[in-house]
Structure 1
């Protein structure tokens, strides 16, 4: 069975985001035998985790790639099944940031409206692993110019992980495509 690699997008994003599309194209070109997918996640935290778990099923040869809130979800799953996870400007304690973004949103791929509520923030807080059990399973790509998330929170939370911090950039992770070979290598595809 081929390794399964799953890309998890961030808040108010989709499988059609620039990073998701770049990642899919890279894996199709360089690792065509990998079972790659970019999921479109529901915006209710428990439903998103349930979809990821259902997608992975019983397979344990899995690697996750998560951006922002997708990095948080990837961390939750990686802690459960002990797999590798590559995180791009991951959200740490996302309930503290997203509580400023309550309201109605539209998912462009799922073509549905959804409401982000205070109950979702409480769910995110409950889901957050207090400490990482296997920090060596993580590659964390951070840019100090992230205008949405404080990269220092990730530096602290992911202690013991392989962390690559670059100066400047922004929340989208400037120069992401140049990191795809590093990501694939960390996913142990070679």
Structure 2
């Protein structure tokens, strides 16, 4: 059985709309085990939890936003494929504007974003991709949180699809699930 991981974005969870849509779609493929994990809020703890959760490298990783960044870090370490949806590039620069305390409404948890987390993110960021062909990057130009052009530049050489309009949640995500599954299951 092939394993595919789904990594949610910042302040999201395995119960987000994209995660639930992905889980429902992959249930149609009994030869695939999709795992959607709830990750800790600090970057180092999130990576440690991912490494602890894996018995073997997954066949592929799907990551959205900050989950796309973590998917990139993990894919570079493990040499597996990754499909990224509006991925965060250099998230230490974006999240620096969100230092403070927050409450997660779904998980009912309080968490803090601290300056030290920005250093962790910067340290985790791969300077360049070893094999961009292992990536499918889906971007919407209307993303109000992240500049899609940074991802176009960073993932140069990957399969990149730029969709006009949309937003950070990736409007119409469910229509891209067959393409995502095909990419993830490619051998």
Q: TM (normalized to structure 2)? A: 0.96
Instruction: State the superposition RMSD in angstroms.
Output: 1.3
**Residue in 1 aligned with 2:9?**
10
- The answer on 1:53 being equivalent to 2:51 is yes
Q: Is the 8 A contact 2:2 2:59 kept in 1?
A: yes
In structure 1, stretches of 5+ residues that fail to align are none
Maintained 8 Å contact 1:14/1:107: no
Say whether residues 1:21 and 2:8 are aligned partners: no
2: distance between equivalents of 1:152 and 1:22? 26
Q: Give 1:109 deviation, angstroms.
A: 5.3
Name the residue aligned to 1:43: 41
Contact 1:69–1:90 (Cα < 8 Å) also in 2: yes
Q: How many equivalent residue pairs?
A: 187
What is the correspondence of 1:1-190 to structure 2 with a 5 Å cutoff?
2-28=1-27, 30-57=28-55, 59-108=56-105, 110-188=107-185
Change (3 A) 1:26 1:117: same
Q: Is the 8 A contact 1:70 1:90 kept in 2?
A: yes
Using the TM superposition, give the Cα deviation of residue 32 of structure 1 relative to its aligned residue in structure 2, in angstroms: 2.3
Q: Which residues of structure 2 form unaligned runs of 5+?
A: none
Is the 8 Å Cα contact of residues 142 and 165 (structure 1) preserved in structure 2?
Answer: yes
Q: Distance in 2 between matches of 1:64 and 1:179?
A: 15
Change (3 A) 1:102 1:34: same
Q: 2-side partners of 1:53 and 1:175: how far apart?
A: 31
Does the Cα contact within 8 Å between 1:145 and 1:168 map onto a contact in 2? yes
CA contact (8 A) 1:56 1:62 kept: no
When residues 177 and 124 of structure 1 are mapped into structure 2, their CA distance, relative to the original with a 3 A threshold, is: same
| 1:125-178 deviation per Cα after TM superposition (whole angstroms, max 9, x unaligned) | 111000001111100000011010000000000001000111011000011000
Superposition misfits of 4+ residues, deviation over 4 angstroms: none
